Amino acid sequence: MTAAVPGPAIEVRGLRKSYGSQVVLDSIDLTVPAGTVFSLLGPNGAGKTTTVRILSTLIAADAGEIRVAGHDLSREPNAVRAAIGVTGQFSAVDNKLTGEENLILMADLRHLGKREGRRRAAELLDRLDLADSARKIAFTYSGGMRRRLDLAMTLVGDPRVIFLDEPTTGLDPRSRRTMWQIVRDLVSGGVTIFLTTQQLEEADRLADRIAVLDGGKLVAEGTPQELKRLVPGGHVRLRLADREALDKAARALERDGARAAGDPAVARDDEAMTLQVPTEAGVHSLRALLGRLEQESVEVDDLEVHTPDLDDVFLALTGPRAGESGATR
């Protein structure tokens, strides 16, 4: 295999794909530096899986210049295939073979030779905590084990670029964390990860850069921090003891709120006895808010601070409500 080509691991210019009259991907540009985690976020049907299928040579693009691991996707698909690994949202293991046989099958298809193939299979079974079930048929595996086997099969070929299409969908929290740790270890070994997910926490924890895909277009791109700055989602939720306190607090805060024109107003929920007050993050503004309430002698039962997270970004940027500011949950 040739040495890693300097430059981005994945480079996409003007990628288009449509099925009939339905445009699935509309002129996508992406650059993923080698050795980083890039996450593609988006609602169901945004085109995430289609993007992965195109970049992993499974289906052809209608237009666009794509280079993966230094090779042109349309001219040298086999060179791309030799450098990548794919773990999709639907498990790509052979259910009729054991875990070990699945890995040896992959080693044989990578032409590693019998001894090296067995060594590699044993090493990966160990590394992904599957050694105890190595001789069991994959059909009997749990969801988490299956996904780990799937990833182990991807790793047999020692790929430089790995596509993970919703790798933790349907996994329990512990399996999810295990998967995240494996991904981090891979990246520290210099592997590039292209991750699609619907779980914003996952993107937030793993990704160096995130792109948000909606309706076949990239609507935002940046680091998780940069994306969070795009939306004003920070607020404090106050729960008051009774209606009297609720009225009092609402009056006081609305008077204040009027000073800062343009801010989203205080949202009042009579049923739950809560007030949702937009604030900037930080101890200072929180102290000011509580000070104001103390002045009015309002008793606060409970409070909850909400800083903008990727959920807010996601809701603000995608779907039918895109464009409305101050999306709240």
Partner 1 sequence: MSFPALAVVDSATMLRRQLRHMIRYPSLTVMIVGMPVVFLLLFVYVFGGTLGAGLGAADGRSAYLEYVVPGILMMTVAGGAQGTAISVAMDMTEGVIARFRTMAISRASVLTGHVVGSVFQTMLSIAVVLGVALLLGFRPSAGPEAWAAALGLLVLTTVAITWLSVAFGLVTDSVETASNIPMFLMLLPFLGSGFVPTTSMPAGIRWFAENQPFTPIMETIRGLLMGTPIGDSGIEAVAWCVAIALLSFLWARRLYERNPVR
Binding region for partner 1 (CB under 8 A): 53, 56-59, 78-79, 81-82, 84, 86, 88, 90-97, 101, 105, 108-111, 137, 153, 157
Helix ranges, the chain (H): 48-55, 77-83, 99-109, 114-127, 143-155, 173-188, 200-206, 224-229, 243-259, 283-295, 310-317
Q: How many CB atoms lie within 10 A of CB 264?
A: 16
Sheet hosting strand 63-68, strand order edge to edge: 22-32, 10-19, 63-68, 71-72
Identity of the residue, 34 or 84, whose beta carbon is nearer to partner 1 in the bound complex: 84
**At closest approach, how far in Å is the CB of 213 from partner 1?**
18
Minimum Å gap between C-beta 189 and partner 1 is 21
Which residue number, 19 or 304, has a Cβ lying nearer to partner 1? 19
Rounded Cα–Cα distance for residues 45 and 296 (Å): 50
Strands 84-87 and 161-165: parallel
Residue among 153 and 203 whose Cβ is closer to partner 1: 153
- Residue 149: Cβ within 10 Å count: 28
CB of 136 to partner 1, least distance (A): 12
| Helices 143-155 and 114-127, packing angle to 10 deg | 140
DSSP, res 133: G
Q: Whose Cβ is closer to partner 1: residue 31's or residue 91's?
A: 91
- CB 10 → partner 1: shortest distance, Å? 14
Nearer CB in complex with partner 1: 80/249: 80
Q: Collapsing DSSP states into helix, strand and coil, what is residue 135?
A: coil
Q: Minimal distance in Å, beta carbon 30 to partner 1?
A: 18
CB neighbours of residue 34 within 10 Å: 18
Least CB distance from residue 219 to partner 1, whole Å?
A: 25
| 150 versus 312: smaller Cβ distance to partner 1 | 150
Q: Which residues contact 111 (CB under 8 A, 6 or more apart)?
A: none
